[in-house]
Homo-oligomer: A and B are copies of this chain.
Amino acid sequence: MSFLIVISAPSGTGKTSVVSSLLQVDPNINLSVSHTTRPPRQNEVDGHDYFFVDRARFQEMLKQREFLESAEVYGNFYGTSRSWIEEKMAAGKDVLLEIDCQGALQVRELYPQALSIFILPPSLEILKQRLEQRGMDENKVIERRLSAAREEVSHVHKYDYLIVNQDLQETVQQIACIVRAERLKTIRQLAGQRELIAQFA
């Protein structure tokens, strides 16, 4: 009985490294590939990093209720395809969505059984340092990301699990444990153990 895993974290928390290590550790997890109208960055591959679509196509998919959740971020659209996810889950895979709080809440309305995890940086100061060290962004962009981080963190109590990313490997182990525990829930085990339980009837 597959399930959805929703992970949110402010930009600069190290979410991308955590997720890529997690996928190595637990091969039954498939990372959801979002659709976006944002142009591909260097090295980004269509169908792997994102499905890159134009605005007209995105609007069409939106109209056909093809997205489980969608959002506009800094002028670009992002959306998670419902049919892609349901295909993976039907094949027995657990699907990981790396989305912001706004998307997470949308997903939970449709899939109340989804597992949600929020990752915090060890401190606001460290988050600032990480964003500055990237060297990719102007001060104005960093300010915008910090402001978004504040907004995200204000919703932390709506998530099932809360992890502080002090150490990458520790964080990955913690999430792997959460997913493993989820699979052991009676509600998920009953179908698979039906024959064993019947021996005691």
Contacts and interface: CB of A to CB of B under 8 A. Distances in A.
Interface of A: 118, 120, 122-124, 149-150, 153-154, 156-157, 159-164, 174, 177-178, 180-182, 184-186, 189-190, 193, 196-197, 199-201
Nearest to A186: B162
Per assembly, the copies of the chain total: 2
Contacts of A150: 200-201
A162 B178 contact: no
Contacts of A199: 123-124
Closest 4 A/B residue pairs (Cβ): A181-B181, A153-B200, A124-B199, A162-B189
A149 B159 CA distance: 38
A120 B178 contact: no
Given A174-B180, A180-B174, A180-B177, A185 B161 contact: yes
